[in-house]
Chains A and B, each alone.
Chain A
Amino acid sequence: MINRGITKSVSFFKIIYCLLAILILYFAFLPVLSVVFSSIFAQGRGISFQDIAHALKYLKNSLIVTIPVTFAATALGTVVAFTLQRLRFRGNQLLKLLALLPLINPPFVGSLAFIMLFGKRGLITNKLLGLTISPYGLAGIITMQVLSLTSLAYILVSSSIKRVDPSLEEAARNLGSSSGRILSTVTLPLMLPEISSTALLVFLASMADFGTPLIIGGNFQTLASDLYIQITGLYDIHMAAVSGLFLLLPCLLAFVVHRYYLHQKYYSSSNIVSENIEFKQMPRPLKAVLTIITMLFTGVVVLKYGFIVIGAFTKQWGYNYSFTLQHLTGALTADLRPFINSIRLALIVALVSAILGVFLAYILKRNQPTAAGIIDFMATLPAAVPGILFGIGYLVTFKHPFLGIGKWVFPDAKPLVLLGTSSIIYFVCIARYLNVGLKSGYALLAHLDPNMEKASYNLGENEVRTFFRVTLPLLKPAFYTTFLKNFSTTMTTLGAIIFLLIPSNKVAVQQIFQRITGSEIGVAAAMGVLLSATSLVLLGIFYLLFNYQEIIKKMRSRGSWD
């Protein structure tokens, strides 16, 4: 009886695994492969030296931006995370909340706020300090990217700080180490793997960012923005393909190096999640410096966001600060369908990518199926590919019938061409964010005691039932985190879908992008605020839904819910 149950369940997981593997091969890996091949063999014209020289020039620009941004944002993010999570000071909780603001970043509008605050005629630089400096160029791009990516780094590093086992620090302290020594020999090394993967993500995000250089780069453009200009302004798809290849290579290189050399093991193996544990005996001057840095950073973030809100509600952002609702009503009376499309896209993408990602993590870790390493690699790969390139990959792959393979089999079959349908943007986003679920799944499974499942088998349950009744409830937290994260990311994503949208399925971000280009900055700011507010409210609702049991418990224990 028991034997039969196990064979049945094994084939159940095998079938699911095969299906997932095919989907991943198809929707995550093939498009990346297509970009590489179409770049090399584009339009039957080889790559000339001139093309390479052009691409190298912009690659150099990209690296000039990305390398300092990666170091600065990762370091600053780590400092902020450490200060907020491990040090106690007045206002700590508030700052924690504020540092999360960029999670719901209204896209592109931030760069505008920056120009109006620090530009040639900016509110702070010119009106307050009397300076006339142009913010356009390298310095502007680096500043903007450091600001937004520090927040990303802060969020990523924070979660790893919580997993550092404070008893190790305690042990070092008992053995007589000074707090500086503990910091440099225990705490930081424990966080190092997470810091290095944070640095990788910051690097990739900075390389892929085309909006910031486009808006405030002036004559300093990076490979990603040059790629966008090549396609939209110069009509030169061939040059774009070569630039794409040069953009892809460093990203893949960083991804592979990190995967196989840096990211060897996590030290945070204990089950303890150390929330709100203070790092004791920090020397006062150091604590003061860290606190000031953190406060300055959150101050700038708040300034930026406050200024965007001001822009949304004043007549002429930058010139006439009298209150008006005209931009908001303008944004609301315009076609609202892009907003609804955005929400629908984010909901479905978050749901599917969270379920599939966490499920796949479970199969790969617990069942150790054939080719687990390869499938994991293919599923994670899209994270390394700049969004705009991943979108182009979809374009070149799925313009052929029968989901791409028809190029060779049924070249004339019209049906099942994914390009030009409204579903293609769902596929591209799910494929791109699946890895988030995979990663959260792994992180959680590392902490889950397999004995729970063994106990279930011993009590006579088969693998499928065990999965659904024991493992699945335990995996819920990973699912929730992925859902929330992917929801907020998808709401503001543009690069991957910009070339795949069709007239009937526009999304809100694209509308904001258009407004900024058309110098309707008031409406753009209002739409940005609206989009952020919508995400914030929905995220709040989801958070309550996912955690309501705990919240009720907490309230009960405080006696305010009886």
Chain B
Amino acid sequence: MLKKLISSVLLLILVAALTACTPSSAPDAGLDNSEGNTLWSSEHYDADKMKGLSLNLYGVTDKVRPILDIFEQDTGIRVEHLTMKNGEILQRLENEYEAGVSIADLWFTGGADTFINAAEKGLLTGYQTPAAEVLDADMKDPDGFWHGTSLTLVNWVVNTALIEEKGLKMPEEWNDLLQDGLKDEVSMSNPASSGTAYNVITSVLQTKGEDNGWIYLEELIEQVPFFTARGSDPKNLVVNGEAIVGINASNGDFEVEKEYEHIKIVYPSDGTGWWPQPVAIVKGTQKLDAAKVFVDWLISKRGMQVVAEKRYAAVARGDIEIPEGIVDIKNIELFPADFKAGAQNRESILAEWARRVDK
């Protein structure tokens, strides 16, 4: 009797685990549906055919989930996402292309340089969405291989508790990072493995000029105890108090600041680096029309508004209301950016950097 009971319990657990399929978290109803749907359109959209369709998306952050949920609400198309590092996505796409396996349909979020790289390798499908006409030229690829959705801005994550404790000057401009008290207290990622740090270097070189730029960088190197593997590490180190200032990149949001009382996000007053967060359609997708609908929707006023509100991001379109808690990029000094040049000189710049670090 007991034996039977127990085996049926085991069976139940098994069945429950095998068949359980939790419904996806209910999409946020904060953004009004009926109004939202007037703000986007797509000639590729076919509500009946696409209902219940599922797209696969690669990206570098889990924070895209609420955006994808609202897209599903608007269109009935489900988007499953998988979060990886930039390089891993590139590797995967190459692998899948070579194998003729189509896993990802879309790629959303990441560094512009990886998208440029992928486009050159023929891993993306060009599509010029009509919605992108209003975007600035440096926010989109001329052949439509990728479109910028929001801006990633370089900033500093500062541990204010430690600044106070040590009586240091709150850093405002790049030279403030060189103050004596910050020796071994500045955290920066390795530019060879992190887009954030690489962008900082190219930006500094572009604004200060080659010679002065390298002089500055050499002094900066002196302040950094070790270079972390990933761009997100410095932020974590500063939050934990292992460093006082971390060179970071974010959407222009103040999320870390809101979450931690002892943290402040600073946008350097004498200019900072930036790059677009693109979206692209992966070559070989079996669901091209639905993928086009996603791009149309994302770049539309509707999509951009959702991105601004859900990701707290400074978005690519200028005709969107800026929600509270996001920097207004008009107030920030942006370094001029030449992503293509940055991508082309990568090897020589990294070699020069490595030479100075090893010195």
User: A residues engaging B (CB < 8 A)?
Assistant: 112, 115-116, 119-121, 134, 136-137, 214, 217-219, 221, 225, 229, 231-235, 237, 316, 318-320, 333-337, 340, 343-344, 347, 395, 399-401, 412, 414, 417, 419-420, 499, 501-504, 506, 510-511, 514-519, 521, 538, 541-542, 544-545, 548-549, 552
Contact flag A519-B25 (CB < 8 Å), given A234-B192, A318-B240, A399-B95: no
**B191: shortest Cβ distance to chain A, in Å?**
10
Say whether B25 contacts A334, CB under 8 Å: yes
Say whether A319 contacts B192, CB under 8 Å: no
B239 in the interface (beta carbon within 8 A): yes
B225 in the interface (beta carbon within 8 A): yes
Q: Closest residue to B85 on the A side, CB-wise? A: A232
Contact flag A229-B193 (CB < 8 Å), given A395-B95, A417-B99, A503-B80: yes
Say whether B99 contacts A504, CB under 8 Å: no
How many angstroms from the CA of A336 to the CA of B65 in the assembled complex?
13
How many angstroms from the CA of A391 to the CA of B190 in the assembled complex?
26
Say whether A235 contacts B90, CB under 8 Å: yes
Against A, the Cβ 8 Å flags (1 = close, 0 = not) of B77-96 are 00011111111101110111
Say whether B88 contacts A499, CB under 8 Å: yes
B341 in the interface (beta carbon within 8 A): no
Q: Closest residue to B195 on the A side, CB-wise? A: A233
Q: Closest residue to A398 on the B side, CB-wise? A: B99
CB contacts (< 8 Å) of A521 on chain B: these are 236, 239
Q: Closest residue to B162 on the A side, CB-wise? A: A121
Give 16 CB contacts A-B under 8 Å: A121-B240, A225-B229, A229-B229, A231-B87, A234-B192, A319-B161, A320-B261, A333-B25, A334-B25, A335-B24, A420-B103, A499-B91, A503-B82, A518-B62, A519-B236, A519-B239
How many angstroms from the CA of A412 to the CA of B91 in the assembled complex?
22
Say whether B117 contacts A548, CB under 8 Å: no
Say whether B104 contacts A519, CB under 8 Å: no
Against A, the Cβ 8 Å flags (1 = close, 0 = not) of B1-29 are 01100110110011001101110110000
Q: How large is the interface on B (under 10, 10 to 19, 20 to 34, 35 or more residues)?
A: 35 or more
Q: Closest residue to B7 on the A side, CB-wise? A: A545
B98 in the interface (beta carbon within 8 A): yes
Say whether A134 contacts B25, CB under 8 Å: no
Q: Closest residue to A236 on the B side, CB-wise? A: B87
Say whether A232 contacts B88, CB under 8 Å: yes
B317 in the interface (beta carbon within 8 A): no
Q: Of B7, B20, B86, B241, which contacts A121 at CB under 8 A?
A: B241
Q: Closest residue to B227 on the A side, CB-wise? A: A219
B230 in the interface (beta carbon within 8 A): yes
B205 in the interface (beta carbon within 8 A): no
Q: Which of B218-264 contact A (CB under 8 A)?
A: 225-230, 232, 235-236, 239-242, 256, 259-262
**A96: shortest Cβ distance to chain B, in Å?**
26
Say whether A506 contacts B82, CB under 8 Å: yes
Say whether A419 contacts B99, CB under 8 Å: yes
CB contacts (< 8 Å) of A221 on chain B: these are 229
Say whether B84 contacts A347, CB under 8 Å: no
How many angstroms from the CA of A526 to the CA of B58 in the assembled complex?
25
B194 in the interface (beta carbon within 8 A): yes
CB contacts (< 8 Å) of A218 on chain B: these are 225-226, 228
How many angstroms from the CA of A233 to the CA of B90 in the assembled complex?
10
How many angstroms from the CA of A518 to the CA of B20 in the assembled complex?
29
Given A232-B193, A340-B20, A419-B99, 11 more A-B residue pairs with CB atoms under 8 Å apart are: A218-B228, A219-B227, A235-B114, A395-B95, A400-B99, A417-B101, A503-B103, A504-B56, A517-B230, A518-B61, A541-B9
Contact flag A502-B227 (CB < 8 Å), given A119-B242, A399-B95, A399-B99: no
CB contacts (< 8 Å) of B123 on chain A: these are none
CB contacts (< 8 Å) of B57 on chain A: these are 503
Q: Of B9, B193, B232, which contacts A519 at CB under 8 A?
A: B232
How many angstroms from the CA of A506 to the CA of B82 in the assembled complex?
7
Say whether B91 contacts A235, CB under 8 Å: yes
Q: Of A234, A336, A414, A417, which contacts B193 at CB under 8 A?
A: A234
B167 in the interface (beta carbon within 8 A): no
CB contacts (< 8 Å) of B7 on chain A: these are 545
How many angstroms from the CA of A511 to the CA of B90 in the assembled complex?
20
CB contacts (< 8 Å) of B102 on chain A: these are 420
CB contacts (< 8 Å) of A320 on chain B: these are 261
Against A, the Cβ 8 Å flags (1 = close, 0 = not) of B52-69 are 001011100111010000
Say whether B236 contacts A548, CB under 8 Å: no
**B66: shortest Cβ distance to chain A, in Å?**
11
B30 in the interface (beta carbon within 8 A): no
Say whether B2 contacts A552, CB under 8 Å: yes
